């Protein structure tokens, strides 16, 4: 049995007045219409911080300043493993809009269970909230 390829992914935890910014994947994406923290794949030679800035700007049209690493989870899918690094981020300019996501919401942590999250994000949330 051969080892699955690993994809390094970063995601932004953006908090505002006790609510967190989450995004819904497009219908044509892998794991369609599932919810996640905004972010994406880290390209070769790119830092996590640069990937976060690029991905959040691409998806939501806002600029962020990445802060400290909050959590890390590794989740095996059928064809690959996702190493997901979750960072605290702050919006430095712009207002979020659904540029390259199906939708976005500001949700309290108590409301997370109303949204079907991707498996890797589900693990991250459990770690983030100290449950599970």
pLDDT at 132 over 70: no
Tell me the per-residue pLDDT of 17-28, one tens digit each, with 9 for 90 and over: 999 999 999 999
Q: Is 98 helix (H, G, I), strand (E, B) or coil?
A: coil
Tell me the per-residue pLDDT of 47-57, one tens digit each, with 9 for 90 and over: 999 999 999 99
pLDDT at 129 over 70: no
Lowest mean pLDDT, pick from 30-34, 48-52, 82-86, 119-123: 119-123
- Over 32-86, what HEC string results? CCCEECCEEECCCCCCHHHHHHHHHHHHHCCEEEEEEEEEEEEEECCCCEEEEEE
pTM: 0.90
pLDDT at 102 over 90: yes
Q: Dig out the tokens for 40 from the structure.
A: 């994406």
């Amino acid at each position: 049995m051969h080892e699955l390829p690993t994809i390094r992914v970063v995601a932004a935890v953006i908090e505002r007045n006790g609510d967190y910014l989450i995004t819904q994947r497009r219908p044509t994406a892998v794991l369609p219409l599932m919810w996640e923290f905004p972010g994406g794949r880290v390209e070769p030679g790119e830092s996590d911080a640069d990937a976060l800035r690029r991905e959040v700007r691409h998806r939501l049209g806002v600029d962020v300043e990445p802060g400290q690493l909050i959590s890390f989870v590794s989740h095996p899918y059928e064809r690959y493993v996702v190493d997901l690094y979750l960072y605290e981020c702050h919006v430095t300019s712009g207002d979020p809009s659904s540029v390259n996501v199906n939708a976005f919401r500001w949700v309290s942590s108590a409301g997370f269970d109303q949204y079907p999250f991707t498996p890797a994000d589900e693990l991250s949330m459990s770690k983030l909230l100290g449950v599970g």
